[in-house]
Amino acid sequence: MLKIDGVSRSFGDVIALDGVSLEIGQGEFFALLGPSGCGKTTLLRIIAGFERPDAGSVSLDGADLLGTPPNRRPISLMFQSYALFPHMTVAKNVAYGLERERLPKQEVRQRVGEVLETVGLSAHAARKPAQLSGGQRQRVALARSIVKRPRLLLLDEPLSALDKKVRADMQLELKRLQHDVGITFVVVTHDQEEAMSLADRIAVFDNGHVRQVDEPVSLYERPRTPFVADFVGANNLFHGTAGGLDGIKSERFGMLAGTPLEELAAEAGALLAVRPEKIELADGGASSGLAGAVLDVSFYGGVSHVSVEVPGHPKPVLVAVQGAATVRPGAEVKVRWAAEDAVIMAADQ
């Protein structure tokens, strides 16, 4: 439905987007994920029409978007700051887009009423934005965006201004709403948990490039580039050279077990990534595994994180265990994992 093809944009010397191509399907909940300054917001502003790309094309349902001024695109944008009109009531804010379409007053009133009902703000219709809480303001912004029934709804860091508890509620609500209204959502976020829990598919951005586009589970379990392996979720990364189908050759540790996602050229630089929850914490006397000493144990309720200092590895190895950990800092342990639980990728992408 939305097709982005070879879009590039730079600001002076800074390249915000470098040949980005993406295709987003009808009804999809799509996330653009990346650290701040990676170009994801620039892409969002290009889609909305507030920024022009230096090169490339953007089309919606096959029709070129770049020639259309922002106020004629069937696209709504929910701003990170919400950008609610401070001098208008909630109802006026929501009605604004419909009034610009010169719809009959009766229809405007009815649709505003319906959408305020949907976001649970009917009782606050006569208030000004300054009289609302952060979560309520976010809902007004959302209502104002969806009331026009856009083809596409863009959300710029929609939940970043909310505190943790409200954020979790709003995540659920966003998902439900997207399901109910059937609008295609594109959300920009730097919060990977948010992207994972909300989106059907995620595009991971880094320095103006798209590093991987995948479903959340695939992105987590089968990262295809070192950046994705490092950025998405906690990971333990080991450098080495390609070592066939069941591991990499590490200078310090010898063969490390893992599964390459694609065939690597012999002796090519390789990176092995293994998730903390896939690592087994074995007794110091165990026959296999990398020997180390427990550095620190943190209890998070359902899980505990144990960091293990492995001599020769630059960062402590992070191990997640269910419940409370039985080891204490200083204990001699070994860390090991099964070959199918670790992924191997080329190091140079």
Q: Which of residues 216-235 bind other proteins (CB under 8 A)?
A: none
> Which of residues 97, 208, 226, 240 is near other proteins by CB under 8 A?
97
Distance CA 173, CA 120 (A): 11
Nearer to other proteins, 83 or 282 (CB): 83
Distance from C-alpha of 193 to C-alpha of 186, rounded to nearest angstrom: 16
Query: Is residue 100 a contact point for other proteins (CB under 8 A)?
Result: yes
Nearest to other proteins of 36, 71 (CB atom): 71
CA-nearest of 260, 195, 248, 194 to 222 is: 260
Strand 259-260 relative to strand 342-346: parallel, antiparallel, unpaired?
A: parallel
13, 101, 251, 263: residue in contact with other proteins (rule CB under 8 A): 101
Question: Strand (E) positions, 63-151?
Answer: 63-64, 75-78
Pick the stretch among 27-35, 53-61, 74-82, 201-209 that binds other proteins (CB under 8 A).
Answer: 74-82
Smallest gap from residue 101 Cβ to other proteins (A):
6
Distance CA 194, CA 306 (A): 25
Per CB under 8 A, 86 contacts other proteins: yes
In the complex with other proteins, which residue's Cβ is closer, 148 or 201? 148
- Which residues from 265-304 bind other proteins, rule CB under 8 A? none
Q: How far is the CB of 141 from other proteins (least distance, A)?
A: 9
| Cα 109 to Cα 98: distance, rounded to the nearest angstrom | 9
Which one, 77 or 319, has the nearer CB to other proteins? 77
Residues 6+ apart with CB under 8 A from 288: 282, 334, 336
Which lies closer to other proteins via its Cβ, residue 79 or residue 253?
79
Binding mask 108-147 for other proteins (x = CB under 8 A): ------------------------------------x---
- By CB under 8 A, residue 70 contacts other proteins: yes
Q: What is the contact mask toward other proteins in residues 30 to 69, using x (rule: CB under 8 A)?
A: ------------------xxx------------------x
Shortest distance in whole angstroms from residue 56 CB to other proteins: 21
- Contact call for residue 105 and other proteins (CB under 8 A): no
Rule CB under 8 A: is residue 176 a binding residue for other proteins?
Answer: no
Name the 3-class secondary structure at 70.
helix
Kindly tell me the burial class for residue 180, based on how many C-beta atoms sit within 10 Å of its own C-beta (0-12, 13-18, 19 or more): exposed
CB count within 10 Å of CB 310 equals 23
Among the candidate windows 96-104, 189-197, 223-231, 309-317, which touches other proteins by CB under 8 A?
96-104
> How would you classify the pairing of strands 317-322 and 63-64?
unpaired
> DSSP readout, 245-307?
TSEEEETTTEEEE-EESS---TT-EEEEEE-GGG-EEEETT-SSSEEEEEEEEEE-SSEEEEE
Q: Under rule CB under 8 A, how many of the chain's residues touch other proteins?
A: 23
